[in-house]
Amino acid sequence: MTQQNNNPVTSKVWFITGSSRGFGRVWAEAALKRGDRVAATARQLASIADLKEKYGENVLTLALDVTNAEQVKAVVAQAHAHFGKLDIVLNNAGYSLVGTIEEGSAEDIRAEYETNVLGPVAVIQAALPLLRKQGGGHILGTSSNLGHVTLPVIGYYCSSKWAFEAIHESLALEVKAFGIKVTIIEPGAYATEFGSPESLKFAAGLDIYEDFKMQFFNSLREMERGDPGATPEAMFKVVDSENPPLRINLGSNNLSWTRAVYAERMATWEEWDTVAIAAQGTSK
């Protein structure tokens, strides 16, 4: 059972992007229910207006398009000034481009990266000077188990999460000396609104892939999905830890899938290792 903390001095302050639906909404409400304070952001302010009605002064609702770097900087500063600190900066906003590699246009791919990669970077860059000045903080990023493995048809989404993972792993090494912690959240399949039209964008289709995509979508429908409402306790364990992990899976199927994929990669690398070693050449 989560302990409720209504003391504004000791309660944590969260800054969350993508708070209107999915995990962002679940985690924002869970944090507020336990007595934490939250700067909840979303593209459309009306989509999070009810949080203000429910939680009063413990929540600050702000309109934010993470692809607008100037707006990001202003909103992060506003949230910090309002609460006097930001303990947790959670990059959660994102969407999936649906289409094969051949079908994705440069415009579609660029837009995906603007939201899923450059948006979170803008939030991080806006928050870091404030976190350093206050003596620490915790940056969390919602990635996916698809940050390690891939699926067809959403390859560009997977690639955005691979980039997201690399950025946060480098960040963790760079900011450790400032007392700033970094954790990558890696959910598996969950029954969130992530599959809704608001969270998906479809590339223009080619007829040659229609059967393949239909089989893919049918396999997704059969996939076991977790309960988003079961995730807040794991999040609280992470943010309350003195030594949080760099990565944490959410869900019961991630590790077995990732383990199998990495075992296959290791086997291939080892099989071709003599070729790799020969390619080193002779040192001069």
For residues 183 and 234, the answer to whether their CB atoms sit within 8 Å is: no
What residues act catalytically? 143, 157, 161
What's the rounded Cα separation, in Å, for the pair 137 and 15? Answer: 11
Domain count, the chain: 1
Q: Is residue 37 part of a domain?
A: yes
Q: Is residue 39 part of a domain?
A: yes
Q: Is residue 8 part of a domain?
A: no
The whole-number pLDDT of residue 167 equals 98
HSE at residue 261, side-chain half, CA atoms within 13 A, is 13
Q: What is the pLDDT of residues 161-193, one digit of tens each?
A: 999 999 999 999 999 999 999 999 999 888 775
Reply yes or no on whether the pLDDT at 3 is more than 70.
no
Domain that holds residue 171: 13-252
Q: Is residue 6 part of a domain?
A: no
Q: Is residue 185 part of a domain?
A: yes
Q: Is residue 245 part of a domain?
A: yes
The CATH number of the domain holding residue 102 is 3.40.50.720
Above pLDDT 90, what percent of the chain?
86
The whole-number pLDDT of residue 1 equals 44
Q: What is the pLDDT of residues 32-48, one digit of tens each?
A: 999 999 999 999 999 99
Q: Identify residue 43 by its one-letter amino acid code.
A: R
- pTM passes above 0.85: yes
Q: Is residue 123 part of a domain?
A: yes
Q: Is residue 268 part of a domain?
A: no
Question: What is the 3-state secondary structure of the chain?
Answer: CCCCCCCCCCCCEEEECCCCCHHHHHHHHHHHHCCCEEEEEECCHHHHHHHHHHHHHHEEEEECCCCCHHHHHHHHHHHHHHHCCCCEEEECCCCEEECCCCCCCHHHHHHHHHHHHHHHHHHHHHHHHHHHHHCCEEEEEECCHHHCCCCCCCHHHHHHHHHHHHHHHHHHHHHHHHCEEEEEEEECCECCHHHCHHHEEECCCCHHHHHHHHHHHHHHHCCCCECHHHCHHHHHHHHHCCCCCCEEEECCCHHHHHHHHHHHHHHHHHHCHHHHHHCCCCCC
Reply yes or no on whether the pLDDT at 154 is more than 70.
yes
HSE at residue 90, side-chain half, CA atoms within 13 A, is 30
